[in-house]
């Protein structure tokens, strides 16, 4: 069965379901490209080097080494160091929050599709069954195949909605795991930098 035949047999609810599937696919691709780019800019060696330089108070050298760096963890550390004389913790928290917003972008769309697609599928099935029973009331049992075929077609929407939701769950959980992991790393290094700064300030 061709795609347009499935859309036609499922009734008008199939069009919103098509929109849901396109939304899921678009968000999944966009988020995948975002995380690939984020991973490409990672510089784990420099992250540890920043902490080592901070232990000896070499702030200017850190500034030079981190200039233009696109690693999200290093950017959080660099913002903290830049505001070390004011409130390092809040500065890093604000930058980490900004990064979290970028990482979480479009995630509510996937979350909504996971809930909305099955509901649309059920709605389509209910409407199809109502239509089938209307046909049964008009023609009686003269040709029961019309009713059964109508119910079978109506179930297509439920199957489609469930399929979309199942597919959407995979990238949703995957990207949420990446977000949680990234937040943990940012918090870990931010805390380490604060500890190092307090230690060096105490020595000074």
Digit-coded pLDDT (tens) for 78-136: 999 888 888 888 999 999 999 999 999 999 999 999 999 999 999 988 888 887 777 66
To the question of pTM greater than 0.85 for the whole model, the response is no
- Residue 198: pLDDT band (50, 70, 90) is confident
The yes-or-no verdict on residue 8 having pLDDT over 70 is no
Whether the pLDDT of residue 147 is over 70: the answer is: no
- Is the pLDDT score of 172 beyond 90? yes
Indicate the average pLDDT of the chain: 86
Assess contact for 130 and 118: CB atoms under 8 A. Answer: no
> Rounded to whole angstroms, how far apart are CA atoms 173 and 196?
35
pLDDT of residue 142: 57
Percent of the chain at pLDDT exceeding 70: 84
Task: State the angle between helix axes of 44-55 and 59-66 in degrees (0 to 180), rounded to the nearest 10.
Answer: 160
Question: In which residue are the tokens 């195949």 written?
Answer: 145
Residue 138 in this model has a pLDDT that exceeds 90: no
- The model's confidence at residue 164, banded by pLDDT at 50, 70 and 90, is very high
Report the pLDDT value the prediction gives residue 133, as an integer from 0 to 100: 74
Torsion of CA 29, 31, 36, 38, to 10 degrees: 160
pLDDT of residue 106: 95
pLDDT at 182 over 80: yes
pLDDT at 2 over 60: no
Answer whether 50's CB lies under 8 Å from 82's CB.
Answer: no
pLDDT at position 163, please? 95
* Whether pLDDT at 15 is above 60: yes
Residue 197's pLDDT band (cuts 50, 70, 90): confident
């Amino acid at each position: 069965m061709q795609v347009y035949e499935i859309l036609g047999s499922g009734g008008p609810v199939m069009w919103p379901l098509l929109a849901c599937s396109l939304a899921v696919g678009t968000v999944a691709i966009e988020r995948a490209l975002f995380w690939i780019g984020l991973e490409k800019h990672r510089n784990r060696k420099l992250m540890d080097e920043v902490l080592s330089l901070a232990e000896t108070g070499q702030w200017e050298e850190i500034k030079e080494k981190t200039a233009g760096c696109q690693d999200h963890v290093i950017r959080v550390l660099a913002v903290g160091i830049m505001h070390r004389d004011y409130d390092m913790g809040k500065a890093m928290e604000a930058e980490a929050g900004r990064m979290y917003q970028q990482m979480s972008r479009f995630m509510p769309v996937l979350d909504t599709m996971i809930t909305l697609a099955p509901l649309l599928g059920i709605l389509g099935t209910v409407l199809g069954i109502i239509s089938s029973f209307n046909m049964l009331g008009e023609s009686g049992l003269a040709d029961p195949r019309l009713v059964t075929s109508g119910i079978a077609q109506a179930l297509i929407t439920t199957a489609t909605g469930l399929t979309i939701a199942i597919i959407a769950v995979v990238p949703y959980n995957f990207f949420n795991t990446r977000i949680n992991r990234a937040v943990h790393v940012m918090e870990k290094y931010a805390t380490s930098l604060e500890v190092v700064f307090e230690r060096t300030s105490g020595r000074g």
